[in-house]
Structure 1
């Protein structure tokens, strides 16, 4: 039997005697910020149906295959390249990170690294690796693997791993002192980096993996140290992962030490939410993703439960391409902000697990600042803004200016099952004020192509991360910059300055100002905060969420008959 242990709050890493005061301050900085972003008591911990019913079996039973129905196809299985939830559900099981962010306390604690030191100027992060960790091919995990992983992300891989690359902005090198000591060096202060080392995007892979072609890595040519190994991956169909024998370095936020309980997990792509729920009820699946409100009665009626947890980071937004008309007109963008009724989107299409967006950061994100006053639904005000800007109502209800109709296209891919319905309702709301919002559904690959070429009006997406630096990733002109705007003297300086600020209160103030400025310029039209909504059968236990609301299966198990 795999040993169990009671849940423990992650302790902050125990630093070596060489650590200085700033190192302690920086660790406290991350802990303080992440505590602000923890889900409230109403958010499910992901413990499984046993947590609600009180009928918790005392002895987890190893063995069995968990059949999981995904709502969309994974982009691939490389932890450093993928970004969608369904992709990370698979990829996260294959690889571990240097640190762990406790999902309950928000603290940064040890994982592959036992401890770390941080320099006064926040440019040098020295990680002391735990002994005895091995990759799935049997090779030991060493500081050379850390160096190779980060060198690859900062180098050629960065183009296909934008999130990971953004976390390593300003990366200079990784110095290897010995096989258990790696120092990551930046050319400027990088206050977000410690939290970044807990993310799947900076998971540590073998030195050999770093040399593999990125496309081959996406298809499964990756070697990690996680509790599962990849058995198979079929693009657009699913994946199978199997338990790795000898896994003995789970983070302290995990419920037990040692190997995973499950023999394997079969991930199958089932786009229709009703089919997923029906499959759970008829014992075709053990767990399903993206449970919509209409599916809840079927899940619960069959003895299952819906687990939910809010996602930190950037909520689902419409980000405008400000280089194309009519969105080059700031008045049009201002009208969009107040024309949308976010509460109606949640009440009509989603469920109580979701919240209307009240900023360009989700409310569970460290550094979130309430910007509800800029996002209050006011169709009359939207009409006045458009009237004053010269957009006049036409006979068909759609406004025109200089003979051009107020038509805007939103480019989206349905990685979240409810996206189409949300956008259709938003289109109805906008039409009521004279804006013709047209939906353009693409595959993930097609949307990436559109983004790279700038072929879109509004780009619909969300990004999950439990750190406010996600704003720099998405809105700095030096980073992803989906608005395609030129550098400015407002948003860019705020995002750059927060990256070098070690004082928690000062950094939070900068982030609050950045949120206000982004919305004031209409650089994002927030819609709703994503929540993970996972259906599990009554005999499934221990499916958990990490701090970024991604699924973990190390503690998962199925009651055996």
Structure 2
């Protein structure tokens, strides 16, 4: 079998992201991109860290919210590591890998010095057991497969105690990157034998990471403790061996002002989800601001083509053109964030700048609606030939500080062209419940963090997320499958870049299935005595390199 070694695959994945990341690195002394802030690390101490949302599900394979994946990113290791600064895919629990030319078979060579937190040894059998659950699920245990990333999975073969072969029925160019994501953390045998309800209990979490969960009180706090003897971090990390911190106490403080007050009062050492209005004052007061753009699909208005009136392309095009992105940048966002210039974050390999397509042109937007038969009603809102109002129902999440203000700005601009945008911006649990109810939404707003262009196929292809609800009889249905699926069929840099560009053009120009709004970021504010506040590639906080000056 011919193969490609890992070094080539890593180089291909890294090409685009490197320039984008490095371009954004300049920052004031107390505004640190990437968390590297110098000093000689000191071991010991407990980091008191406050967050907005409460982690509910600590199972690394199914906990999907940011606070959940923040926890699991610190207690699990993965086969591969995506370098957050370069985007390269690097060895972690796998020392190297081979890929067949069809991108359907991946052979991994594993470390032999890794143990789980219960003392058991990490082997090829560990990988097979994890991957079979991720790829196939287990009905008896209530485990569903992670279909978006494991589509076409046909199984894992143990070739010897340190070698496994993972097979797919279709090309999977994004698989190495998918293995670096938070849900791909390797779990121990005893955890994997448990039903879904028991897998997320702290006492049942057997992992290989630098921290373990020792306490979890829902909606209050989660405590991570350093694992003694840990010594298998990726080579590009700032150090090897055990974590510097003895422990991390993660407390839930939903109100932004209260979180900031707790930081100023010294009750916590660092906070996540910094309110926009607090960034500048905290910077002036000497606190360290550490932002990182979230790679993947930006916060975007995803249109449902199976509903009136977003089944009309003219309506979707008008929404794209109607609102002022400069105003969003100046009145809502801080320098930690960026207005979208594509459906992809600029931190994703394959990103292409479509800012020309997304430029505001209200006159053209109104003309498009006029030509499509939408006329102004008595209240200024347009109606079609049957008298139906141009009213759009939007559902979104309020878990990021910019979301609601951004949507309200767009709402105002849309009203100027005769579009009535109804906003429903909800907490995560209410949002998750609402999208399953009979109430139908014209626009669903969310983002998907993944630093690989395959995120577009994952979200929009009718074979997977089908976010636009394309119907099988629609001629665009197969076109979407082919155009979006092309990104998963090659790791050749030129061919994948071309496929990525075509996928973005299809979504933004050809069919206007989505209108990106802004690239969200995670923003941490820390006491200046806290050093190396950092993130993994998908912008989850990781505490392995973090250290605190003695109090």
CA contact (8 A) 1:34 1:467 kept: no
Matched residue, 2:326? 343
Change in Cα spacing, 1:237 to 1:486, as seen in structure 2 (3 Å) is farther
Question: Is the partner of 1:532 in helix, strand or coil?
Answer: strand
Matched residue, 1:5? none
Moved more, 267-276 or 318-327: 267-276
CA contact (8 A) 2:49 2:249 kept: yes
Matched residue, 2:393? 409
1:557 to 539, 547, 550: 547
Matched residue, 2:370? 387
Shift of 1:111: 0.7
Distance in 1 between residues matched to 2:192 and 2:55, nearest whole Å: 21
2:536 to 525, 531, 546: 546
Matched residue, 1:484? 469
RMSD in angstroms over aligned alpha carbons? 2.7
Q: Does residue 528 of the first structure (1) align with residue 542 of the second (2)?
A: no
Matched residue, 2:182? 200
Superposed CA offset, 1:215-269 (max 9, x none):
4334544321111111222333332211111111111121111111112111122
2:161 to 164, 175, 179: 179
Change in Cα spacing, 1:106 to 1:336, as seen in structure 2 (3 Å) is same
CA contact (8 A) 1:205 1:222 kept: yes
CA contact (8 A) 1:44 1:307 kept: no
Shift of 1:298: 3.5
In the TM superposition, 1:256-295 aligns within 5 A as 256-295=239-278
Q: Tell me the number of residue pairs that the alignment of Structure 1 and Structure 2 aligns.
A: 542
CA contact (8 A) 1:310 1:353 kept: yes
1:120 to 101, 116, 132: 101
Q: TM-score, normalised by structure 1?
A: 0.90
Q: TM-score, normalised by structure 2?
A: 0.92
Matched residue, 2:355? 372
CA contact (8 A) 1:125 1:184 kept: yes
Shift of 1:468: 0.4
Moved more, 89-98 or 65-74: 65-74
Q: Does residue 90 of the first structure (1) align with residue 83 of the second (2)?
A: no
Matched residue, 1:493? 482
CA contact (8 A) 1:98 1:110 kept: yes
Distance in 1 between residues matched to 2:397 and 2:132, nearest whole Å: 31
Q: Does residue 61 of the first structure (1) align with residue 42 of the second (2)?
A: yes
Moved more, 469-478 or 79-88: 79-88
CA contact (8 A) 1:317 1:461 kept: yes
Matched residue, 1:475? 460
Question: Is the partner of 1:360 in helix, strand or coil?
Answer: coil
Gaps of 5+ in 2: none
Superposed CA offset, 1:423-466 (max 9, x none):
22221121122111112133323323333457322111011111
Distance in 1 between residues matched to 2:455 and 2:434, nearest whole Å: 22
Distance in 1 between residues matched to 2:548 and 2:2, nearest whole Å: 44
Shift of 1:43: 6.0
Question: Is the partner of 2:240 in helix, strand or coil?
Answer: coil
Question: Is the partner of 1:404 in helix, strand or coil?
Answer: coil
Change in Cα spacing, 1:27 to 1:347, as seen in structure 2 (3 Å) is same
Shift of 1:372: 1.6
Matched residue, 1:4? none
Superposed CA offset, 1:288-312 (max 9, x none):
1122331023322442111112221
Matched residue, 2:136? 155
Shift of 1:208: 2.8
Shift of 1:150: 1.3
Shift of 1:535: 0.5
Shift of 1:22: 7.0
Question: Is the partner of 2:435 in helix, strand or coil?
Answer: helix
Matched residue, 1:7? none
Distance in 1 between residues matched to 2:549 and 2:361, nearest whole Å: 52
Change in Cα spacing, 1:322 to 1:46, as seen in structure 2 (3 Å) is farther
Question: Is the partner of 1:511 in helix, strand or coil?
Answer: helix
Q: Does residue 168 of the first structure (1) align with residue 168 of the second (2)?
A: no
Distance in 1 between residues matched to 2:33 and 2:346, nearest whole Å: 28
2:441 to 456, 466, 485: 456
In the TM superposition, 1:41-60 aligns within 5 A as 41-42=24-25, 56-58=38-40, 60=41
Question: Is the partner of 1:373 in helix, strand or coil?
Answer: coil
Question: Is the partner of 1:534 in helix, strand or coil?
Answer: strand
Q: Does residue 425 of the first structure (1) align with residue 409 of the second (2)?
A: yes
Distance in 2 between residues matched to 1:123 and 1:555, nearest whole Å: 35
CA contact (8 A) 1:82 1:161 kept: no
Superposed CA offset, 1:458-502 (max 9, x none):
111011111100001100011111221125232210222221123
Gaps of 5+ in 1: 1-17
Question: Is the partner of 1:126 in helix, strand or coil?
Answer: strand
Superposed CA offset, 1:401-423 (max 9, x none):
22222221211221212212222
Distance in 2 between residues matched to 1:37 and 1:182, nearest whole Å: 34
Shift of 1:201: 2.0
Shift of 1:96: 0.6
Q: Does residue 101 of the first structure (1) align with residue 101 of the second (2)?
A: no
Distance in 2 between residues matched to 1:206 and 1:468, nearest whole Å: 31
Question: Is the partner of 2:357 in helix, strand or coil?
Answer: helix
CA contact (8 A) 1:191 1:501 kept: yes
